């Protein structure tokens, strides 16, 4: 579980990131979860976007994806969300 200070730090880092994970009308599939796992292992902090054709609420999608990927949901703004999980092999981001 992240503290408020850690979330603020990660939100600042995520400001300039482009979304690399897209969730579409099929919502959360095994492929989306695998992509999230791989991206989180490589980057630790990823930004995703819930596309317009997705029927569910972006906050619900982000929470479900965070749980499936064993990550922390940092933020949801509009249709964009940030996920964080420290790398198991080479952690790069040092949280305050």
Give the domain ranges of the chain: 4-83
Residue (of 95, 55, 62, 60) closest to 80 by Cα position: 62
Predicted TM-score of the model (pTM): 0.92
| Average pLDDT value for residue range 70-96 | 93
Split at pLDDT 50, 70, 90, the class of 89 is confident
95: how many CB neighbours lie within 10 A of its CB? 13
First-to-final CA distance of the chain: 13
Across the beta sheet with 45-50, what order do the strands follow? 21-23, 45-50, 80-84, 72-77
- Secondary structure element (H or E) that encloses residue 80, with its range: strand 80-84
User: What kind of architecture, by CATH, is found in domain 4-83?
Assistant: 2-Layer Sandwich (3.30)
**Residue 3 confidence (pLDDT):** 94
**Residue 55 confidence (pLDDT):** 87
Least confident segment among 54-58, 70-74, 79-83: 54-58
Mean pLDDT of the chain: 94
């Amino acid at each position: 579980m992240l503290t408020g200070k850690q979330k603020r730090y990660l939100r600042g880092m995520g400001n300039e990131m482009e979304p690399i994970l897209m969730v579409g009308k099929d919502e959360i599939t095994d492929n989306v979860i695998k992509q999230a796992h791989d991206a989180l292992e490589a980057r630790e902090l990823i930004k995703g976007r819930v596309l317009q054709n997705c029927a569910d609420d972006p906050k619900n999608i982000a929470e479900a994806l965070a749980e499936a990927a064993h990550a922390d949901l940092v933020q949801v703004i509009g249709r964009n969300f940030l996920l964080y999980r420290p790398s198991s092999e080479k952690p790069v981001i040092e949280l305050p």
